[in-house]
Amino acid sequence: MGTGRRLTHYPAPSGKNSLCKWYKAVNPVRVTLNFIVIYLCKYIPLLSLKRVLYRMIGVKVGRDVSFGLASMIDIFFPELITVGDNCVIGYNSTILCHEFLIREYRTGEVVIGRDVVLGANSTILAGVRIGDGAMVGAGALVNRDVPPGVLVAGVPAVAVQ
């Protein structure tokens, strides 16, 4: 597997965990719009419409990307997600670009290459890059970069091929 994650760190407001003041990190109107679009996309069956809607909120979505039913993208920072051409984002998969912690919050761009498959119920954490042609097994937690063409599985995900 590749390197660790590329994250930007921001301090939490004093005396509060970082999630308490999320609205200082992201405009609440923007998050509301993101929420509506993302939840609509979770359940609509039209893949081409999902791509259009995700692009509207800033996700960089390649051609012929298929977002499976109930897949979930980051509600606070969708503009930090790039998905290459011809990918399959499996059922109930999650792509996160943020982490709210006690003393800080972190953001990191997620870049998914071309021809990548994310298995059902997989989770991709902030700051991860997944190379072209890689496959992520069902239920995997990807907390590190995945090289091109590699199959990863498990919690945390490790190369199995």
* Model confidence pLDDT, tens digit, residues 90-107: 999 999 999 999 999 999
Q: Which residues are catalytic?
A: 98
> Domain for residue 125, yes or no?
yes
- How many structural domains is the chain composed of? 1
Structural domain includes residue 2: no
- Contact indicator for 140, 153 with CB cutoff of 8 Å: yes
Whether 12 shows a pLDDT value over 60: the answer reads yes
Q: What is the mean pLDDT of the chain?
A: 94
* Residue-level pLDDT at 161: 64
Phi-psi region of 103 (alpha: psi -120 to 50; beta: other; left: phi over 0): alpha
User: Domain of 53?
Assistant: 8-159
Instruction: Determine the pLDDT at residue 128.
Output: 97
Predicted confidence (pLDDT) per residue in 35-75, tens digit: 999 999 999 999 999 999 999 999 999 999 999 999 999 99
- Asked if 122 and 136 count as a contact pair (C-beta separation under 8 A), the reply is yes
Q: Report yes or no on 12 lying in a domain.
A: yes
Q: What is the CATH number of the domain that holds 131?
A: 2.160.10.10
* Vertex 53: Cα angle to 48 and 57 (nearest 5): 145
Determine how many CB atoms are found less than 10 A away from the CB of residue 142.
28
pLDDT at residue 21 above 90?
no
